[in-house]
């Protein structure tokens, strides 16, 4: 219903030029205004840094506790980089030693609690885009669920990449699996972080757009990142690997933020697509939605 009211307000704005005089133009204008208003690049860089400092440690911690080397598999799958090549520089660690095992579940919990800064940053982004209230400490469990969902999704995609070894349909199956994983995660995340105020078609559309963008970026990364990573490592060593990783996380963060902005702009469209995404409304909002298309022409 809030989207219906916002759509009505957007429709009755004064029209100036093509970007405001036609429904597609107004949608394009809303996308541009949304990307500028959310400060796309600043927010994306913050989100990328949070992923590197919050999500990655959780993946490492899970690998430590479960002895399932998800982090190494994810890095090798995306960057073409085997972390074991650094063993000579940093030494090797035996996961069966008492010191290593002492990390345990308690250590994982501490990493997770400190790692919620990623989920909090993402929640602030969604709150500004969708105009929803912030999450209180009473609902802090939502941050933890989002953190682990994103961390485990990267590992699940690395595992799904093994499907490419199957004959004939392996590549197709791996692509479908990756789309499904991203879609599920990026439908769940905005639902949890907006306190359930986003529902139905808007959530599915946001998840689908984010999934398509991340899958495309991931596919492109498999082609270009191994060469970039090799060059960065050769020139700058471990620092080069860190810089490459953060830069690529920034690109992925741009997709995450932009997908939410674009979904919001399209959902406010006064054409069939926008009305479909907003879904059925009741009461005064239903009356507002049923206003004739030329209602805004009176204001032009």
DSSP 62-106: HHHHH---HHHHHHHHHH---GGGGHHHH----TTSHHHHTTHHH
Work out the pLDDT band at 3, boundaries 50, 70, 90: low
- Is the pLDDT at 216 greater than 60? The verdict is yes
Mean pLDDT of all residues belonging to the chain = 77
Around Cβ 185, how many Cβ atoms within 10 Å?
Answer: 21
d(CA 86, CA 74): 16
- Is the pLDDT at 80 greater than 60? The verdict is no
* 13 Rama class: left (phi>0) / alpha (psi -120 to 50) / beta: beta
Q: 């590197």: which residue's tokens?
A: 52
- Is the pLDDT at 94 greater than 60? The verdict is no
Q: Give the predicted TM-score (pTM) of the model.
A: 0.80
| pLDDT of res. 84 | 52
Q: CA-based angle 186:149:247, to the nearest 5? A: 70
In terms of average pLDDT, the best of 17-31, 108-122, 182-196, 210-224 is 182-196
**Mean local confidence (pLDDT), 183-190:** 95
d(CA 269, CA 120): 29
3-state helix, strand, coil in the chain (%, to 5): 80, 0, 20
What per-residue string of b and e applies to 104-139 under the rule 16 or more CB within 10 Å gives b? eeeebeebbeebbbbbbbbbbbbbbbbebeebeeee
Around Cβ 250, how many Cβ atoms within 10 Å?
Answer: 18
| pLDDT of res. 204 | 93
**Mean local confidence (pLDDT), 130-142:** 86
**Mean local confidence (pLDDT), 165-187:** 90
**Counting every residue, how long is the chain?**
300
Domain boundary assignment for the chain: 2-290
* CA–centroid distance for 192 within its chain: 13
* CA–centroid distance for 286 within its chain: 32
- Is the pLDDT at 91 greater than 50? The verdict is no
């Amino acid at each position: 219903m809030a989207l219906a009211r916002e759509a009505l307000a957007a429709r009755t704005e004064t029209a100036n030029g093509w970007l405001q005089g036609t429904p597609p133009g107004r949608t394009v204008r809303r996308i541009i205004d949304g990307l500028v208003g959310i400060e796309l690049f600043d927010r994306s860089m913050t989100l990328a840094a949070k992923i590197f400092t919050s999500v990655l440690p959780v993946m490492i911690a899970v690998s430590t506790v479960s002895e399932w080397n998800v982090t190494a598999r994810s890095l090798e799958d995306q960057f073409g980089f085997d972390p074991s090549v650094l063993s000579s520089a940093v030494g090797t660690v035996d996961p069966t030693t008492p010191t290593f095992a002492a990390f345990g579940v308690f250590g994982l919990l501490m990493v997770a609690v400190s790692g919620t800064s990623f989920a909090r940053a993402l929640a602030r982004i969604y709150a500004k885009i969708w105009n929803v209230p912030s999450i209180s400490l009473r609902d802090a469990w939502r941050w933890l669920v989002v953190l682990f969902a994103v961390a485990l999704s990267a590992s699940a995609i690395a595992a799904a990449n093994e499907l490419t070894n199957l004959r004939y349909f392996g590549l197709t199956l791996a692509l479908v699996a990756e789309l499904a994983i991203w879609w599920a995660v990026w439908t769940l995340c905005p639902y949890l972080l907006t306190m359930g105020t986003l529902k139905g078609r808007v959530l599915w559309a946001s998840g689908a757009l984010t999934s398509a963008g991340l899958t495309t970026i991931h596919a492109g990364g498999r082609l270009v990142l191994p060469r970039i990573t090799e060059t960065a490592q050769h020139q700058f060593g471990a620092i080069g690997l860190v810089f490459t990783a953060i830069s690529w996380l920034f690109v992925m963060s741009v997709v995450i933020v932009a997908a939410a902005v674009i979904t919001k702009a399209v959902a406010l469209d006064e054409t069939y697509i926008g009305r479909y995404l907003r879904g059925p409304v009741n009461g005064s909002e239903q009356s507002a939605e049923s206003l004739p298309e030329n209602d805004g022409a009176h204001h032009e």
